[in-house]
């Protein structure tokens, strides 16, 4: 388990000072998924983090194609759309965002563009063309899976094209979102009072198997799985219900599923860097306005 903390301070005129001491603990992590427990944050902070992950952390995607030959039954536009949605492994340190690249060229250069070629014909018989048929000039920028179907070719059909991938942001097009899912929810708190008669109705009703009946008592088996749906409380025959479910104040579970374009921990690191940049910019603006007034 890793632990780290982010400190956020912002001073607004003379009114008040906000100070958040945010503690982040990694609950689960694998190649594509990450689940964090965030304590000491509030909803605006969590939402800012989520929005930055989905819309501002850059990833690589095919942005332009040149069709040399297409005798398949699919239109060029459909193929272009499909190619754009193939997640590509992203070399974030090796490339510039096109708008920040010194080349200032619409077409791009080796520092802001990767070329992938597709050249398949079917003299031998029809076949499906997959993402694995794309040949990239950079072995670090390739489709995350070789088995994403692009189109089907019948016998004696051909597809030949050149595709240009660039770094981009989800706020400009969803193809650049580095995640397929990013959510947060309050950290659940479940209390079972002494009035519980262990009838087990709440256990049967829970869709996430959060609760378990052990002898004459009800125990929490998987707290993190709780969605705070309140079905257990509604099923309880006691009035008021002997089970109470609520969200812990200022504690959240943050879930992230990467498209595999970037490792989840890199996505989080980039998101915190971007958020930090925005906060510094805001702080700078406030100082400028204050000095303008005085």
Applying CB under 5 A, which residues contact Zn ion?
101, 103, 108-109, 111-112
- Full DSSP string of 57-114: S-EEEEEEEEEEEE-SSS-HHHHHHHHHTS-B---TTT---GGG-TT--SS--TTT-E
Structure tokens at 117: 């070629």
d(CA 255, CA 268): 11
Tokens 């076949």 sit on residue? 127
Residue closer to ligand SF4 (CB basis): 99 or 222 = 222
Does 253 sit near ligand SF4 (CB under 6 A)?
Answer: no
Per rule CB under 6 A, count of chain residues that contact ligand SF4: 27
Q: Give the one entry of ligand SF4, Zn ion, none that residue 234 binds, where binding means its C-beta sits below a cut-off of 5 to 8 angstroms depending on kind.
A: none
Q: Give the one entry of Zn ion, ligand SF4, none that residue 111 binds, where binding means its C-beta sits below a cut-off of 5 to 8 angstroms depending on kind.
A: Zn ion
**Which residues, 6+ apart, have CB-to-CB distance to 171 below 8 Å?**
55, 56
Answer for which of 229, 251, 279, 286 binds ligand SF4 (CB under 6 A) is 229
Q: Give the one entry of ligand SF4, Zn ion, none that residue 109 binds, where binding means its C-beta sits below a cut-off of 5 to 8 angstroms depending on kind.
A: Zn ion
Minimum Å gap between C-beta 227 and ligand SF4 is 5
- Could you tell me if 74 and 188 are in contact, meaning their C-beta atoms sit under 8 angstroms apart? no
- Could you tell me if 77 and 161 are in contact, meaning their C-beta atoms sit under 8 angstroms apart? no
Does 218 sit near ligand SF4 (CB under 6 A)?
Answer: yes
**Which residues, 6+ apart, have CB-to-CB distance to 20 below 8 Å?**
7, 8, 40, 41, 42, 45
d(CA 111, CA 6): 32
Span near ligand SF4 by CB under 6 A; candidates 63-71, 94-102, 111-119, 220-228? 220-228
Does 238 sit near ligand SF4 (CB under 6 A)?
Answer: yes
Q: Give the one entry of ligand SF4, Zn ion, none that residue 228 binds, where binding means its C-beta sits below a cut-off of 5 to 8 angstroms depending on kind.
A: ligand SF4
Does 232 sit near ligand SF4 (CB under 6 A)?
Answer: yes
Does 245 sit near ligand SF4 (CB under 6 A)?
Answer: yes
For the chain, helix, strand, coil in percent to 5 are: 25, 40, 35
Does 201 sit near ligand SF4 (CB under 6 A)?
Answer: yes
Does 228 sit near ligand SF4 (CB under 6 A)?
Answer: yes
* Integer CA distances (angstroms), 168 to 52, 70, 210, in order: 13, 27, 40
- The binding site for ligand SF4 (CB under 6 A) comprises 192, 196-202, 205-206, 208, 210-211, 218, 226-232, 235-236, 238, 242-243, 245
């Amino acid at each position: 388990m890793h632990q780290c903390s982010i400190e956020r301070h912002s001073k607004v005129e003379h009114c008040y000072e906000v100070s958040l001491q945010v503690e982040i603990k990694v609950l689960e992590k694998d190649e594509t998924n990450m689940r964090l427990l965030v304590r000491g944050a509030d909803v605006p902070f969590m939402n800012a983090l989520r929005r930055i992950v989905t819309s501002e952390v850059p990833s690589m995607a095919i942005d332009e194609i040149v069709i040399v030959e297409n005798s398949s039954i699919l239109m060029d536009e459909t193929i272009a759309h499909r190619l754009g949605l193939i997640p590509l492994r992203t070399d974030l340190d090796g490339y510039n965002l096109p708008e920040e690249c010194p080349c200032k060229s619409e077409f791009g250069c080796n520092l802001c563009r990767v070329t992938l070629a597709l050249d398949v014909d079917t003299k031998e018989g029809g076949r499906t063309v997959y993402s694995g048929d794309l040949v990239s000039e950079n072995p670090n920028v390739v489709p995350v899976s070789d088995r994403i179907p692009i189109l089907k070719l019948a016998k004696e059909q051909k597809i030949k094209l050149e595709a240009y991938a660039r770094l981009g942001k989800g706020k400009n097009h969803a193809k650049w979102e580095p995640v397929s899912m990013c959510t947060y929810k309050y950290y659940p708190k479940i209390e079972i009072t002494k009035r519980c008669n262990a009838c087990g109705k709440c256990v049967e009703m829970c869709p996430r198997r959060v609760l378990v009946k052990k002898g004459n008592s009800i125990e929490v088996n998987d707290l993190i799985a709780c969605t705070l749906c309140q079905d257990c409380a509604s099923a309880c025959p006691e009035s008021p219900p002997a089970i109470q479910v609520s969200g812990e104040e200022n504690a959240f579970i943050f879930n992230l599923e990467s498209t595999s374009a970037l490792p989840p921990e890199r996505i989080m690191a980039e998101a915190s860097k971007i958020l930090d940049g925005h906060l510094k910019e805001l702080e700078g603006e406030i100082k400028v306005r204050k000095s303008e007034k005085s």
